[in-house]
């Protein structure tokens, strides 16, 4: 049995439930998925500060439960805390945006990632650059909707997604469209039918990728970037992380 902990990085229980619903439809025999969210941090992840805090909280959840699961998914399109989580455990950890771009590479020459707002475009470009895949990124079209607006009017949301995907394919020559964020999840099939290219949900991609990593029996490399360190330092004021340094 593969035991996977999926961490919704924000503190919204409603969002956690939506993720759990999406994943339930894609869970294979032999996989047990648990979806949780931190008790501290922002309700919606909109800014660099939100990403930093929810990243730390996501990694804290990994540290707290690292014995109970075989792999971890960070379920926020900014992949907050992904690098820290890989230091905290040697079990596989995958981010949903990361999973989507890796999967997309097998389905088309280039991909586009739909951004929620114009202010996110540069951040997403930098994120793809960190993954080393700028050469495969066609564009980052934006639907220009705040999270609150997104959920209020589903028809408008879909029209914006359609417009963004259409521009990405027709103008920017994207061959695959990625809906990285969990708030956009659920529109993949309709959008795929309308724009006639593969449309990927990061959340489901991540689930499938960690299933594969668990089956492979591999662990995160601890030799350099994700090296743990035994040290006597007190992490003053950040309970839940101390034992990371004494393992």
Nearer to a copy of itself, 157 or 209 (CB): 209
Tell me if 54 sits within 8 A of 33, measured CB to CB.
no
- CB of residue 118 vs a copy of itself: minimum separation in angstroms? 7
- Kind of pairing between the strands at 31-36 and 137-139: unpaired
Residues 76-135 that bind a copy of itself (CB under 8 A): 81, 83-84, 86-88, 92-94, 98-99, 102-103, 105-110, 118-119, 121-123, 126, 129-135
Query: What contacts 216, CB < 8 A, 6 or more positions away?
Result: none
Residues 152-171 that bind a copy of itself (CB under 8 A): 169
Q: Which of 103, 105, 104, 81 is nearest to 93 (CA)?
A: 81
Distance CA 9, CA 58 (A): 6
Residues 181-200 that bind a copy of itself (CB under 8 A): 196-198, 200
Which of 33, 73, 176, 184 binds a copy of itself (CB under 8 A)? It is 176
Q: Which of 146, 134, 142 is nearest to 179 (CA)?
A: 142
Query: What contacts 18, CB < 8 A, 6 or more positions away?
Result: 182, 183, 185
- CB of residue 36 vs a copy of itself: minimum separation in angstroms? 15
Determine the interface stretch with a copy of itself among 13-21, 153-161, 179-187, 210-218 (rule: CB under 8 A): 210-218
Residues 29-58 that bind a copy of itself (CB under 8 A): 29-30, 39-44, 46-50, 52-53, 55-56
- CB of residue 114 vs a copy of itself: minimum separation in angstroms? 16
Tell me if 152 sits within 8 A of 136, measured CB to CB.
no
Which of 68, 193, 224, 246 binds a copy of itself (CB under 8 A)? It is 224
Does the protein bind a copy of itself through residue 247 (CB under 8 A)?
no
For the chain, the distance separating the N- and C-terminal CA atoms, rounded to the nearest angstrom, is: 26
Size of residue set near a copy of itself by CB under 8 A: 92
How many Cα atoms sit within 13 Å of 87 on the Cβ side? 20
Residues 11-30 that bind a copy of itself (CB under 8 A): 11, 26, 28-30
């Amino acid at each position: 049995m593969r035991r996977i902990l999926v961490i919704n990085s924000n503190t919204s229980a409603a969002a956690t439930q939506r993720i759990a619903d999406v994943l339930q439809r894609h869970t294979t025999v032999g996989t047990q998925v648990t979806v949780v969210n931190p008790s501290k941090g922002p309700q919606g992840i909109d800014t660099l500060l939100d990403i930093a805090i929810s990243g730390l909280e996501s990694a804290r959840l990994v540290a707290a439960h690292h014995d109970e699961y075989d792999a971890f998914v960070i379920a926020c399109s900014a992949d907050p805390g992904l690098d820290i989580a890989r230091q905290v455990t040697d079990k596989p950890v995958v981010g949903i945006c990361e999973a989507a771009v890796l999967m997309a590479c097998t389905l088309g020459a280039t991909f586009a990632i739909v951004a929620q707002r114009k202010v996110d475009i540069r951040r997403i470009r930098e994120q793809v650059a960190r993954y080393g895949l700028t050469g495969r990124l066609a564009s980052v079209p934006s639907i220009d909707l705040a999270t609150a607006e997104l959920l209020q009017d589903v028809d408008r949301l879909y029209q914006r997604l359609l417009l963004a995907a259409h521009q990405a394919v027709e103008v920017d020559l994207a061959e695959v469209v990625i809906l990285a964020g969990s708030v956009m999840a659920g529109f993949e099939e309709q959008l795929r039918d309308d724009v006639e290219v593969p449309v990927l949900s990061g959340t489901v991609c991540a689930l499938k990728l960690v299933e594969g990593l668990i089956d492979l029996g591999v662990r995160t490399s601890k030799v350099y970037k994700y090296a743990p360190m035994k040290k006597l330092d007190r992490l003053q004021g950040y309970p839940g992380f101390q034992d990371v340094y004494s393992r």
